[in-house]
Amino acid sequence: MKKMKRSKFALLLITSFIVRLIPHRTLLLAVYDEYLHRDLTLRIVNNGIGVLSKDVGSLLGLKAYSYPPLFHVIGAFIYSIFETDYVFFILPAIYGILSLVAFYYLSKEILEDEKKAFLATLLVGFAPNFVYRTSLYIPENLGILLFVIGLWLLVRFFKTGEPKYIASLIVLLPIYMVTHRGWVFFVGVGILMAFIYFIPWVKKHLHYLVGLAFIGVLLYYAPVSGEFIRGLISRMPREEVTALGYLKWIGIIQLIFGVLATKRYFEGGPIRQGLALWAWSFMIFGSIAFRFRDPYASLPLSIMAAEFLVDEVFPRVQWALEKITADISGWGAGVFRKLLLNKKIVSLAIALLFLGPVFQGAYSAYAYITPPTVKDKEAFEWIKENTPEDAVFLVWWDLGYLLIGNTHRKDVVMWKKVYQGFFEKAPDPQEAKKAYADHVVMFSSTQKDRVYTLMKAYNVSYVYVDKYRRAYGLIKYGLMEYAPYDTHFKTLFVNGNSELYEFVPNPPLLPPTQDKILYSGEHEKFVEFLERFWTGYNYADFDDGYKGDYFLNARIARIYSYLYQETGNEWFKERYEWLLRWLAYKQLENGGFPEGVPPNDFTLYTAFTIEPLKGLSFEGQEKTMSYLRTRIQEDYIMTTSKDKKGDLFAEAQMLPILYEYGLFNKTVLDNIITKILDEQRSDGSWKKSLGGTIVTAFGLARYYQLSGDERVLPAIKKAAEWIREQQEDNGRFKGEKGYGYSRATYANVLFVYHIAGMEREKEQMLEIIKTTYDLNKEPRPLQSTLDIFRALEYIYGIRGAIDLVEGMISSQSF
């Protein structure tokens, strides 16, 4: 260090420190593991060191799912001093810089040259996998520091033979063991490097080596050591890696020139031979389990590459440029050759070999470590405020990191794999594997009784899913298929990204029967059609949508209430009364009804749900009225709880429903109507959108039918004329290919024409619907049928609508 300018080394450390802050540039923890380790640290801060496991095997990381606690204890001590989350961003960078300082002294000990040691430190300091591991709040960060210090002691022992270094190692190893399980890699490296010294002895005593191998097999099957070895192997991430992965994570310069140095290192002294053996062993094993490669193969390769660059490459840059330019001829060749052979260009080429790894390392800190955006901070806050601290959540395993780290609650998988070993007694590998397998079953199985049983066994109280995990096929078509309607699950929270359900082991509400209604008589074809969608709890459409379908069930409740009055059949009475109780049970606490994938608390669908329930005995009605009142502002209607400006098309559809329930005062009603009318274009459309114009005109038409408000009739007629212009002479919409529009859209237009007094166009629309309606081509056959029914009911009344719809579906093969 004396000969090397201290300023250069300080610049290297400062630059390295800044690069290690990049992953936390958003002031969020950068990877899932960090949330877990922060939570473990904070639990020690809040509950004291006495909460740690008393099991020695767990404390030393000797068991498969045990986690040494020293890293967290140190973190808790520092946090208790500063009491700021910046500890979790800055402390990892400090550990990383200390590792670089230690690595410099290790390199200088091996290479015996300060310049080479400096370059080796630069190469390893910006190796992408080393940047990754030394930037994050994870135990391996501190473990790498101990790893490098241990290697320095080992190399000093090999060079001097002084026992004090072995004694220091004996002290260091237990500290490493209670810090991170990477001590296993350290022991492996120590054995590889020591093996070089024992090669002459091995040649003479090969039978001893066979004996050692036999002892290794015995240890593998022995109770204590075998459990540790088998657990370690079972937990080692095993996946195929590509050659590009080596260049990406080890670093281009580090890998290429480290490999090129192999021959000279195997021909060198025992320490250099040990380094080469270490590098190649870990690269080979790294092709199966990347943890060998990242970052432990980068350490010897950086040392090897630094020496090769200084001894073989840098002195030959001038020679290489001369060779490249030797045969250049033609106009300007002399100038070009002179330019390339300029000392500044040579220096620039050498500088690029320095700067290349720096740029790759800095880029990796930005691009390879993508901070998981905590999109659902709102959901996590809700969980913290509204669920017990000891609540157990069923959550997909990787989302468990975020849930535990942000809410300090328990989950099924990560609690078993991490927390149990940290605070209690580590589970055996089979127990941990079973927890993972069972959580997959709970999410994916449609065998509901099996799922209920497993949830009870794991004391699950809540289910949490976000948008990303919901899209997984096994979750989408498993638990999320039936949780929205099954009364074993109570919807607590939705926001368009996350959904939270309470698991109710013994629900107070169960259907009197899960059988379909078997009815013969008038309208039996219509009833038979509806019953195809019966799930045992509700009616759910045949699509990938949200299976609660609350607004559709409200419409069916109204239909069955009418059929009961007409027929006296007790099946209809039992079913519509059940649907009313079910809707009240599934209603959100704020009075809303969620819809969409992922579901959100949309005002529109709550209005759709309450509309057909007018006149029925629905116990959640007042809660819904209160909900809707809070969504009505002076000059707009909130579409969600966060909306600050409203949406024209949604407001037009809600206008007649909220008016019918008397939720508007005169000022608000006038403001909403004026807003809708003012937004209409001179050609009669709204925003030149066919779909938007149809639903807006439909809402105004229904409002006019209920209120007789003449202010809106001219706008309805004007819109009807514009819609007519978008149709061919045969009534089909222009540009429609095949079954391009749901017949529910045609039904909405039918009602608009009815209110506008356009009888010929109205009859044309009705004929198109009756002759072309195809259930097999409708993306949502139940909704499209009930949407058509709604429009027809507005015109012909409920009985007329039933007759017409039944006529459409009775002859179809569906």
Query: Which residues share a beta bridge with 503?
Result: 489
Mean pLDDT calculated for residue range 667-673: 96
Judge if 530 and 460 occupy the same domain: no
Residue 327 has pLDDT above 60, yes or no: yes
Q: In the prediction, which pLDDT does 776 show?
A: 95
For residue 113, the 8-state DSSP code is -
Query: Which residues share a beta bridge with 394?
Result: 463
Concatenating the DSSP letter of every residue in 455-511 gives HHHTTEEEEEEEHHHHTSHHHHTTHHHHTTT-TTEEEEEE-SSEEEEEE-SS-S---
- Confidence band, pLDDT 50/70/90 cuts, at residue 201: low
Residue 229 has pLDDT above 80, yes or no: no
Q: In the prediction, which pLDDT does 34 show?
A: 93
> Whole-prediction pTM value?
0.85
Mean pLDDT lowest for which of 138-147, 197-206, 487-496? 197-206
Q: Is 767 within the bounds of a domain? A: no
What are the pLDDT digits (tens) for 487-510?
999 999 999 999 999 999 999 999
Q: Is 686 within the bounds of a domain? A: no
Mean pLDDT calculated for residue range 423-428: 81
Q: In the prediction, which pLDDT does 156 show?
A: 95
Q: Is 255 within the bounds of a domain? A: yes
Question: Domain of 466: which CATH number?
Answer: 3.40.50
The helix (H) or strand (E) run that includes residue 394 is strand 392-395
Q: In the prediction, which pLDDT does 203 show?
A: 60
Residue 338 has pLDDT above 80, yes or no: no
Q: In the prediction, which pLDDT does 219 show?
A: 72
Judge if 254 and 215 occupy the same domain: yes
Pairing verdict, β 410-411 and 498-503: unpaired
The residue that leads in pLDDT, 76 or 1, is 76
Q: What end-to-end distance do the CA atoms of the chain give, in Å?
A: 83
HEC readout, 306-347:
HHHHHHHHHHHHHHHHHHHHCCCCCCCHHHHHHHHCCHHHHH
The residue that leads in pLDDT, 2 or 8, is 8
Q: Is 550 within the bounds of a domain? A: yes
User: Distance of CA 15 to CAs 7, 9, 12, 18, 658, Å?
Assistant: 12, 10, 5, 5, 62
Q: In the prediction, which pLDDT does 224 show?
A: 62
Q: In the prediction, which pLDDT does 352 show?
A: 80
Judge if 230 and 167 occupy the same domain: yes
Last residue within a domain, chosen from 582, 601, 622: 622
Using DSSP, state whether 445 is helix, strand or coil: coil
Q: In the prediction, which pLDDT does 241 show?
A: 61
The residue that leads in pLDDT, 348 or 312, is 312
Concatenating the DSSP letter of every residue in 678-718 gives HHB-TTS-BTT-HHHHHHHHHHHHHHHHHH--TTSHHHHHH
Domain count, the chain: 3
Q: In the prediction, which pLDDT does 646 show?
A: 95
Q: In the prediction, which pLDDT does 340 show?
A: 67
As to burial, measured by CB atoms within 10 angstroms (0-12 exposed, 13-18 middle, 19+ buried), residue 75 is: buried
Mean pLDDT calculated for residue range 130-146: 96
Judge if 533 and 617 occupy the same domain: yes
- Confidence band, pLDDT 50/70/90 cuts, at residue 314: confident
Size of the chain, expressed as the number of residues it contains: 814
User: Distance of CA 30 to CAs 15, 90, 99, 132, 470, Å?
Assistant: 20, 13, 20, 10, 22
Mean pLDDT calculated for residue range 86-114: 96
The residue that leads in pLDDT, 341 or 364, is 364
Judge if 456 and 549 occupy the same domain: no
Judge if 414 and 336 occupy the same domain: no
Whole-number Å distance between alpha carbons of 426 and 420: 6
Whole-number Å distance between alpha carbons of 212 and 205: 11
Backbone angles phi, psi at 492, to 5 degrees: -110, -35
CA nearest to 560, candidates 541, 574, 550: 574
Q: In the prediction, which pLDDT does 410 show?
A: 93
Q: Is 778 within the bounds of a domain? A: no
Residue 238 has pLDDT above 60, yes or no: no
Q: Is 703 within the bounds of a domain? A: no
Name the residue range of residue 582's domain. Answer: 524-622
CA nearest to 602, candidates 641, 629, 571, 556: 641
Query: Which residues share a beta bridge with 411?
Result: 393
Residue 407 has pLDDT above 80, yes or no: yes
Last residue within a domain, chosen from 348, 367, 386: 367
- Confidence band, pLDDT 50/70/90 cuts, at residue 215: confident
Residue 551 has pLDDT above 80, yes or no: yes
Q: In the prediction, which pLDDT does 335 show?
A: 66
Mean pLDDT calculated for residue range 642-654: 96
Last residue within a domain, chosen from 335, 367, 399: 367
Mean pLDDT lowest for which of 207-211, 249-253, 416-420? 207-211
Q: In the prediction, which pLDDT does 536 show?
A: 97
Judge if 222 and 310 occupy the same domain: yes
Judge if 137 and 274 occupy the same domain: yes
Mean pLDDT lowest for which of 127-141, 339-353, 681-695, 708-722? 339-353
Judge if 314 and 438 occupy the same domain: no
% of the chain at pLDDT higher than 70:
92
10 Å Cβ neighbour count for 162?
A: 11
Whole-number Å distance between alpha carbons of 134 and 722: 65
Mean pLDDT calculated for residue range 112-127: 94
Amino acid, res. 143 = G
Please give the mean pLDDT across all residues of the chain.
Answer: 91
For residue 515, the 8-state DSSP code is S
Residue 236 has pLDDT above 60, yes or no: no
CA nearest to 192, candidates 130, 268, 265, 271: 271
Q: Which two tokens stand for residue 554?
A: 């409200």
Mean pLDDT calculated for residue range 462-467: 96
Q: In the prediction, which pLDDT does 811 show?
A: 82
Residue 370 has pLDDT above 80, yes or no: no
**Mean pLDDT highest for which of 289-293, 324-328, 771-775?**
771-775
Q: Is 495 within the bounds of a domain? A: yes
What are the pLDDT digits (tens) for 7-37?
889 999 999 999 999 999 988 899 889 999 9
Amino acid, res. 378 = E
Contact 379, 10 (CB under 8 A): no
Judge if 223 and 314 occupy the same domain: yes
Residue 104 has pLDDT above 80, yes or no: yes
- Confidence band, pLDDT 50/70/90 cuts, at residue 3: low
Whole-number Å distance between alpha carbons of 355 and 349: 10
Judge if 457 and 564 occupy the same domain: no
Mean pLDDT calculated for residue range 197-208: 67
Q: In the prediction, which pLDDT does 60 show?
A: 75
Q: Is 671 within the bounds of a domain? A: no
Judge if 401 and 255 occupy the same domain: no
Residue 113 has pLDDT above 80, yes or no: yes
- Confidence band, pLDDT 50/70/90 cuts, at residue 207: low
